[in-house]
Amino acid sequence: MRVAMYYNNRDVRIQEMEVPRIAPDELLVKVWASGICGSDVLEWYRVPKAPLVLGHEIAGEIVEVGAAVTGWKTGDRVFVSHHVPCNMCRYCTAGHHSVCDTLATTNFDPGGFSEYLRVPAINVRNGVYALPDTMTYDEAVFIEPLACVYRGQHHAGWIPGRRVLIVGSGMAGLLHTQLARISGASRIAAVDINAYRLEMALKFGADVALTGGDNLPDRFKDVNDGRLADLVIVCTGAGPALQQAFRSVDRGGTILFFAPSDPGAAVPMPFNDLWRKEVTMTTSYAGSPRDIRAAMELIASHRICVNEMITQRLPLAGTPEGFALVAEANQSIKVVIQPQT
């Protein structure tokens, strides 16, 4: 079978690999769609592990079922979660599935930028979901990222009527915008340094689009009745964006840090100011089984519109082009690779 082997953002090679053989408690899935995630182009994270086949936002069709597997059959259309929790440890039982030790050690084989992948037994048990008949494979690649977004807003203690500032209007920021809109935000301002992405933010539900800069808090107040934000969602790890978040949150407000920063990055924090203002700060990573099911329902019901977020659909041979587009972060939102073309 063909795979897209990642070496770095400018070196992704189409290579041949044996179709994985499955054990009796495993599945073989034909990959029909695989999204390129912003985390796929974080070279500080990916290059030390290269070469490898990336791709974790996948949807496909079961083509082989292990003899010991029950509940699944060939032809079933599925979303497969790459990282799965054990659902039994103290973290999972406390609702913190995304910090489960098991989740950090699980994955399918190889990544989603391949024609086929093997689903290990624990992923079969805890991470395979049947796609609704009305959901396309391309739509299903949004299940994983939307689950992460859903979890993030849940962690931020979502309250309808909040005035929301979303810093970073890439794919994650746009999903946050849509979810905040349907969840009852009273006002949403989107921030980015890219005019194209700000245009997309308005299209997907933002009331106001603002270009990032040092005076962001004042400009947000100008369009928000003189108030700062009840909730700031930071979808970038850039130091200046984090500083803007500290200065843009209102008294009693919340900051959700949704994206990682560079390794070892240190960001000065105006501690006393945040302390006096009773600001809540929280982080979010990955999505739990509950979040995945919620994301599937939101997409299947079309309450969250994802088709129009797909800016490029490419065959497997176009994966190098897709990585370049995502790394440039210019005229693309979601790039979907279709390995069977």
* pLDDT one-digit tens code per residue, 144-165: 999 999 999 999 999 999 999 9
CA–CA gap between residue 42 and residue 23 (Å, rounded): 33
CA–CA gap between residue 35 and residue 151 (Å, rounded): 20
- Identify whether the C-beta of residue 267 lies closer than 8 Å to the C-beta of residue 240: no
DSSP 257: E
What percent of the chain stands above pLDDT 90? Answer: 95
Supply the CATH classification number for the domain 2-145+287-338.
Answer: 3.90.180.10
Q: How does pLDDT run across 102-142, given as a tens digit for each residue?
A: 999 999 999 999 999 999 999 999 999 999 999 999 999 99
> How many CB atoms are located within 10 Å of the residue 162 CB?
23
Q: Out of 3.40.50.150, 3.40.50.720, 3.30.1600.10, 3.40.50.300, select the CATH number for domain 157-283.
A: 3.40.50.720
pLDDT band at 291 (very low <50, low <70, confident <90, very high): very high
pLDDT value of position 214: 75
Mean pLDDT of 263-280: 93
Residue ranges of domains in the chain: 2-145+287-338, 157-283
Residue 270 vs residues 40, 247, 273, 329, 331: alpha-carbon distances, Å:
32, 9, 6, 30, 35
CA–CA gap between residue 22 and residue 69 (Å, rounded): 11
pLDDT value of position 284: 95
More confident residue, 331 or 4: 4
- Identify whether the C-beta of residue 277 lies closer than 8 Å to the C-beta of residue 302: no
Closest alpha carbon to 260 in 146, 165, 127, 168: 168
Q: How many residues are listed for the chain in this entry?
A: 341
179: helix, coil or strand? helix
Tokens standing for residue 219: 């400009």
